[in-house]
Structure formats: C-alpha cells, structure tokens
C-alpha cells in the first residue's frame, strides 16, 4: 500500500511541475484568438410596410443608401400628375360617363330670321345652307366665360346655395349663374340651356346680339335669351344671328368646301365682321343638288 501511495504522489508531482513549466499567453494573443463579438446595429435593420422584418443591412453611422426611400415618399400623388402644367384643357373635369342627359336637351330647331338673304345659299349633299355674310374660315377656339361657367357635360358633386330649381315639361333643372344642371349619379351634370326656361335676371357677362331690325337677344355661354313678362326666357338660336364666341363642346364639320362649327345641333358659319372673327347661325333647308 505504501508503494502505491508513493506512486500516485509521484504522478501528481509530475503533473504539477509540467503545468508550472507551460508558457503564459500575452494579452495580445488572448485578443487575437478570442471569438468575435456580434456587432451592434446602428439603425441598419429595415422593416417592411406589412410589419415583417427584411434582411438586415448596416451602414456606417446608420445611414441608409440614397436609393432607399420611405414608403411615404415613394409615390407622391400630388406630384404624379401636375394638372396645371401638363393639362391645358380647361375642361379636364368633364366626365363623359355622366353625359347621359346632355344630347337629349340640345336645341334641334333654328328659328327663321325674317330677313331675306341677299346671297345665294351654299348647296351640297341635298341641302341649302343660308348665311348673310360671306364665308371666312378661322379655327374654332372655344370661349371660357369665367369660373362660374361650366361647359356641357361638366360634373359637380354639389351645387352652390344660390342654385334654383326650374321645371319645364315635367323635367327638373337646377340653375345657377347662367349654367343649367340635371341630377345625375352622385351629383349634377351641366346641360344646354333648355328652351322655355325663364330666369328673372341675366347672368353676368351676357351680351346683346341683333336678331333682326326689331328684335335683340341676349347671349351667354351658348344660350340665347329673349325678354318676356316673367324675365328672360331661353329661346332657340335665330338664323342670321352673329356672335363672337362659341362655347366648348362644338366641333368643326366639313361640308363640301365649307367648314362649319356644329354646336349641339346648330351650325355656325365662320365669318369676319368689322375686322373680327365671328360666327353666324346658319339656316339649313332640304333640297338642292
């Protein structure tokens, strides 16, 4: 037993001596061989709009690359379509899908003027086109009567408090400052002034136009008014009436060698009067070569 005890003591003594003889690593060596610590993120982790985490991407100082923008600035609806700079058409609010009642309310009859024509009519396609003034072409340029006026087909969601209701032949219209509306889905649609509608005062900006030697009409926004006992009543255009401006909604109509402007169902011949570009209401009759 004593021999075995001495043997064990010798082994332990040898192990302790070996341990004492091993070199101690320096501070630099301990840093070199130590495992790297996880780097702290400085704002590099991004989150998706739906709340899910995307792949972490770290940048010095937490700065994201310039090409990355937040969802709030990615699509700017206000700048996507700059109506003021890219659209020069005044009637960008015209909604053709709501243009249901417009054509049904357009005037289809031109009243005879009562003055004999000193010029032969222009004959083409089985029709005779009468005008007092000679044909003088100039391009059709729609006239804008100001912010309170709207062209046919224009849609509004609400009307001003000054609007009134006018009923003609069981059809109800809303009237406000020279503009007539009918009720349509979700709001109101501008229509041509209905013949027979009477208002107590004329819209601001209306003009006097000569019909014949004894009669004048009042003209505004493509509509003609005649003085009556109740105020001013909308009438159909009278043949031979000359106006300076036509409303939006017309179109040039080429008939033979003459280009008229058709507004609703009324034809206007471009003329020149006193050095100004004007339009004369055309009287059309069936017949001729």
The pLDDT assigned to 109 comes to 75
Phi then psi dihedrals of residue 273, to 5 deg: -135, 125
Q: Name the DSSP letter for residue 166.
A: E
Q: Which residues contact 141 (CB under 8 A, 6 or more apart)?
A: none
Alpha-carbon distance 249 to 179, whole Å? 14
Tokens of residue 178, six digits:
């020279």
Q: Where are the beta strands (DSSP E) in 49-170?
A: 122-124, 127-130, 155-156, 164-168
For the chain, which residues make up each domain, given as ranges?
96-286
Spatial separation of the C-alpha atoms in residues 235 and 237, rounded to whole Å: 6
pLDDT tens for each residue of 39-62: 444 444 444 334 444 443 444 444
List phi, psi (to 5°) of 23. -70, 145
**Per-residue pLDDT tens digits for 209-261:** 998 877 899 999 999 999 999 899 999 999 999 999 999 999 999 999 999 99
Q: Do the beta carbons of residue 223 and residue 181 sit within 8 Å? A: no
Q: Give the model's confidence band at 169: pLDDT under 50 very low, under 70 low, under 90 confident, else very high.
A: confident
DSSP H or E run through 268: strand 266-273
> pLDDT tens digits, residue range 76-126?
333 333 333 333 333 333 343 333 233 333 444 799 888 899 999 999 999
pLDDT score at 4: 57
């Amino acid at each position: 037993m004593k021999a075995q005890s001495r043997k064990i003591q010798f082994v332990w003594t040898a192990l302790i001596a070996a341990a004492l003889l091993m070199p101690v690593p320096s501070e630099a060596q301990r840093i070199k061989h130590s495992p790297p610590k996880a780097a702290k993120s400085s704002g590099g982790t991004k989150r998706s709009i739906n709340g899910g985490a995307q792949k972490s991407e770290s940048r010095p100082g937490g700065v994201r690359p310039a090409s990355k923008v937040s969802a709030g600035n990615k699509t700017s609806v206000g700048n996507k379509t700059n109506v003021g700079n890219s659209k020069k058409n005044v009637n960008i609010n015209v909604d053709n899908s709501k243009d249901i009642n417009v054509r049904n309310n357009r005037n289809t009859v031109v009243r005879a003027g009562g003055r004999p024509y000193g010029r032969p009519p222009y004959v083409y396609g089985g029709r005779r086109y009468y005008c007092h003034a000679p044909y003088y072409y100039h391009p059709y340029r729609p006239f804008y009567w100001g912010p309170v006026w709207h062209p046919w087909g224009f849609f509004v969601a609400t009307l001003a408090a000054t609007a009134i209701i006018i009923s003609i032949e069981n059809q109800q219209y809303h009237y406000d400052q020279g503009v007539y509306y009918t009720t349509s889905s979700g709001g109101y649609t501008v229509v041509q002034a209905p013949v027979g509608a009477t208002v107590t005062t004329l819209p601001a900006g209306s003009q006097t136009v000569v019909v014949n030697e004894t009669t004048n009409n009042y003209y505004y926004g493509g509509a003609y008014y005649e003085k009556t006992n109740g105020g001013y009543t909308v009438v159909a255009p009278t043949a031979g009436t000359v106006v300076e401006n036509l409303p939006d909604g017309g179109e040039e109509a080429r008939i033979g060698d003459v280009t008229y402007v058709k507004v609703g169902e009324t034809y206007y011949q471009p003329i020149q009067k006193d050095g100004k570009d004007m339009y004369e209401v055309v009287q059309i009759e069936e017949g001729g070569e």
